[in-house]
């Protein structure tokens, strides 16, 4: 096994102050919500009970221009007595996650219609430009929506965009109550949906399972509140704290943590030295929208070479380079955009992403650390990082490279990581926290 010889000072996390992190000495199993269900197929994001099955909830599947949905609907003959509002909002979040990577710049939203203690309709927002979760759930419920309770993970919209307001759909359906996970931070919504429903005589409760709903759309919320994309730093470490250039077993395969990560993010930043040696990072999840790959090239003596890619893949590539770096002429012929700057800073890249409507960016420390050093130093000094993800591989690396985090000792700032959580991915441990 070949390991890139990069070392990390201060026991790998010297830049990060890990006080007040929530970690357990053992890894408790994750308890997943399990609801008896029915199999269904829909063109878009609504659920209808057709046939009872015992298989787990499915996800998005694409056939031609249609989006097929397979999810579980609790429409048992027995009433769901004893289940509180939180139960149904958690179900909304579960539904919403079926559209991971498909809704940006819109948020992911799920909706459940409950009447007389039974779920009579479900739906989620499958893609930007298509109807919202409430519309699909109300269609699924039909006439049963009258005098029912609608649960939705995010405040219903109250404005005309590419789709009509969801508040009007709920009022027209004559629901008697709406339970909301969180208020929409979008300034054009911002409680106006709640106010309109209440003026129509509908009972409204907001803030149920609010933290769960916020985590579902953390990039969208950050963009709405700051006007900037949500940035996550990812890197790999050996067990003795050296920076590695590789991923763990199964990480890039279907269902692997890295494959899922690429599905979640709108853009990924990598160094040109990484692209020179490896393929463009690609999610293996079915129907995944591949992230824009931002390639940074700094002070190269030889032209940057991009692997052979198709026309569609080329449209998902962009090169940011300084004036001292040259790009091979064939790159332009492939349709790959190149941006030449005096110096490469994260601000310029994030502004570009913002103009393209990209809300989440993954900064992946692979390839030559020297190329990403300026970006990392810049984003640390200016508080541009929101999240960190570290993969600790079951490897011991005794290499002695000078290219490591020690190069950042000039950065006079320590970052505190909050809510650090561990999980296991095959033989690796994944640490995830927030700045």
Residue range 1-49, pLDDT digits in tens: 444 333 333 333 333 333 333 333 333 333 333 333 333 334 346 554 3
User: Cα-flanking dihedrals φ and ψ of residue 235, to 5°?
Assistant: -155, 165
User: Domain boundary residue among 217, 243, 258?
Assistant: 217
The C-alpha atoms of residue 146 and residue 137 are separated, in whole angstroms, by 13
59 in a domain, yes or no?
no
Residue 389: strand pairing partners: 234, 432
Grade residue 164 by pLDDT with cuts at 50, 70 and 90.
confident
Q: Select from 169, 190, 217 the last residue of a domain.
A: 217
**pLDDT for res 409:** 57
- Residue for token digits 């079926």? 98
Query: Do 264 and 307 lie in a common domain?
Result: yes
Q: Give percent of the chain above pLDDT 70.
A: 72
pLDDT of residue 433: 96
Map residue 137 onto helix, strand or coil.
helix
The answer to whether the predicted template modeling score (pTM) of the entire model surpasses 0.85 is no
**pLDDT of 54 higher than 70:** no
**174 plus 270 within the same structural domain:** no
Is there a domain that residue 62 lies in? Answer: no
Query: Could you tell me which residue, 263 or 298, shows the higher pLDDT?
Result: 263
How many separate domains does the chain show? Answer: 2
* Residue at a domain's end among 190, 217, 244: 217
Alpha-carbon torsion 245, 251, 253, 258, what sign? Answer: negative
**Cα–Cα distance for residue pair 55/37, rounded to 1 Å:** 8
Interacting residues of 3 by C-beta distance below 8 A, sequence separation 6+: 238, 244, 245, 246, 395, 397, 399
SS3 133: helix
Mean pLDDT (the chain) is 79
% of residues, the chain, pLDDT over 90 = 49
Query: What integer pLDDT is reported at residue 405 of this predicted model?
Result: 58
CA dihedral over 146, 149, 152, 155, signed as positive or negative = positive
- Residue predicted with more confidence, 202 or 44: 202
More confident residue, 210 or 189: 210
Does one domain contain both 247 and 368?
A: yes
**Radius of gyration (Cα) for the chain, nearest Å?**
23
Higher pLDDT, 185 or 20: 185
429 Cβ partners below 8 Å, 6+ apart?
Answer: 391, 392, 422, 423
pLDDT at 268: 96
Q: Same domain, yes or no, for 280 and 132?
A: no
Q: Are residues 178 and 208 in the same domain?
A: yes
Q: Is residue 281 part of a domain?
A: yes
Tens-place pLDDT, residues 282-308: 999 998 889 999 998 876 555 666 666
Q: CB under 8 Å to 21, separation ≥6 — which residues? A: 417, 418, 419, 420, 433
* Sign of CA pseudo-dihedral 127, 133, 137, 143: negative
Q: Yes or no: say if 371 and 324 are a contact pair by the CB < 8 Å rule.
A: no
Residue 34 covered by a domain: no
**Section 378-404 average pLDDT:** 83
* pLDDT, position 73: 43
The reported pLDDT for the residue numbered 203 is 97
pLDDT of 57: 36
Band (150; pLDDT cuts 50, 70, 90): very high
What is the mean pLDDT of the segment spanning 375-398?
90
Confidence category of residue 386, pLDDT binned at 50, 70, 90: very high
Is pLDDT at 217 greater than 80 in this prediction? yes
Q: Which of 213, 214, 264 is nearest to 93 (CA)?
A: 213
Dihedral pair phi/psi, residue 170, rounded to 5°: -70, -40
Which of 90-99, 133-142, 265-274 is the least confident region?
265-274
- Which residues are marked as active site? 134
Does the residue 55 lie in any domain?
no
CATH code (residue 348): 3.40.430.10
Q: Are residues 135 and 250 in the same domain?
A: no
The pLDDT score that the predictor gives to residue 15 is: 36
- Measured CA to CA in angstroms, residue 133 lies from 68, 96, 314 at distances of 15, 8, 33
Q: Does residue 27 contact residue 422 with C-beta atoms inside 8 Å?
A: yes
User: Is residue 235 pLDDT above 60, yes or no?
Assistant: yes
Q: Are residues 148 and 258 in the same domain?
A: no
> Which positions ≥6 away from 107 have C-beta within 8 Å?
125, 154, 184, 216, 217, 220
Residue 219's pLDDT band (cuts 50, 70, 90): very high
CATH number at residue 173: 3.40.140.10
Cβ-based neighbours of 114, under 8 Å, separated by 6 or more: 80, 88, 120, 148, 149, 150, 151
**Do 399 and 369 fall into the same domain?**
yes
Q: What is the dihedral of CA 182, 195, 138, 60, to 10 degrees?
A: -30
Ranges 12-26, 176-190, 255-269, 405-419: which has the least confidence = 12-26
In a domain, 1, yes or no: no
Q: Within this chain, do residues 193 and 243 fall inside the same structural domain, yes or no?
A: no
| Rounded average pLDDT over 198-203 | 96
- Mean pLDDT is highest, among 7-21, 29-43, 78-92, 321-335, for 78-92
Asked whether residue 241 is assigned to any structural domain, the reply reads yes
**Is the pLDDT score of 395 beyond 70?**
yes
> Residue 70 pLDDT > 60, yes or no?
no
pLDDT given at position 40:
39
Quick check: 223 pLDDT over 60? yes
The sign of the CA dihedral 231, 254, 57, 45 is positive
Asked if 193 and 329 sit in the same domain, the reply is no
Asked whether residue 232 carries a pLDDT value surpassing 60, the answer given is yes
Cα(309)–Cα(389) distance, integer angstroms: 29
Q: What is the pLDDT of residue 367?
A: 79
Q: Cβ distance 388 to 417 under 8 Å? A: yes
For range 391-405, the mean pLDDT: 74
**Same domain assignment for residues 256 and 211:** no
Q: Is position 326 within any domain?
A: yes
Structural domain boundaries enclosing 162? 85-217
Q: What is the pLDDT of residue 335?
A: 73
What is d(CA 140, CA 49) in angstroms, rounded to the nearest whole number? 9
373 and 268 fall within a common domain: yes
């Amino acid at each position: 096994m070949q390991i890139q010889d990069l070392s990390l000072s201060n026991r790998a996390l010297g830049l990060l102050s890990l006080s007040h992190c929530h970690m357990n000495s053992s890894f408790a199993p994750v308890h997943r919500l399990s609801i008896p269900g029915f199999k269904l197929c829909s063109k878009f994001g609504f659920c209808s009970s057709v046939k009872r099955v015992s298989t787990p909830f499915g996800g998005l599947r694409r056939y031609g221009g249609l989006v097929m949905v397979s999810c579980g609907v609790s429409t048992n003959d027995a009433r769901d007595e004893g289940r509180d509002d939180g139960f149904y909002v958690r179900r909304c979040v579960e539904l919403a996650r079926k559209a991971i990577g498909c809704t940006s710049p819109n948020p992911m939203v799920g909706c459940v219609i409950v009447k007389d203690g039974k779920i009579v309709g479900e739906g989620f927002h499958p893609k930007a430009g298509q109807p919202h979760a409430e519309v699909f759930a109300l269609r699924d419920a039909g006439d049963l929506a009258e005098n029912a309770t609608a649960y939705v993970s995010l405040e219903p919209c109250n404005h005309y965009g590419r789709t009509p307001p969801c508040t009007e759909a709920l009022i027209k359906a004559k629901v008697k109550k709406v339970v909301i996970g969180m208020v929409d931070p979008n300034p054009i919504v911002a409680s106006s949906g709640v106010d309109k429903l209440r003026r129509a005589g509908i009972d409204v409760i907001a803030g149920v399972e609010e933290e769960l709903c916020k985590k579902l759309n953390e990039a969208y919320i950050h963009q709405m509140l700051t006007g900037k994309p949500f940035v996550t730093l990812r890197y790999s470490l050996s067990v003795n704290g050296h920076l590695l250039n590789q991923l763990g077993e199964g990480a890039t395969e279907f269902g692997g943590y890295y494959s899922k990560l690429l599905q979640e993010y709108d853009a990924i930043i990598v160094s040109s030295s990484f692209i020179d040696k490896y393929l463009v990072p690609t999610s293996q999840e079915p129907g995944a929208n591949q992230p824009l790959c931002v390639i940074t090239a700094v002070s190269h003596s030889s032209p940057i070479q991009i692997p052979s890619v198709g026309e569609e893949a080329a449209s998902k590539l962009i090169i940011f380079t300084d004036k001292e770096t040259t790009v091979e002429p064939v790159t332009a012929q492939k349709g790959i955009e190149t941006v030449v700057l005096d110096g490469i800073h994260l601000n310029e890249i994030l502004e570009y992403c913002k103009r393209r409507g990209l809300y989440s960016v993954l900064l992946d420390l692979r390839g030559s650390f020297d190329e990403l050093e300026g970006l990392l130093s810049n984003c640390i000094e200016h508080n541009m990082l929101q999240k960190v993800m570290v993969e600790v591989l079951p490897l011991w690396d005794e290499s002695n490279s000078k290219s490591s985090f020690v190069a950042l000792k000039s950065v006079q700032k320590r970052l505190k990581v909050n809510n650090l959580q561990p999980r296991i991915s095959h033989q690796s441990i994944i640490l995830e926290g927030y700045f």
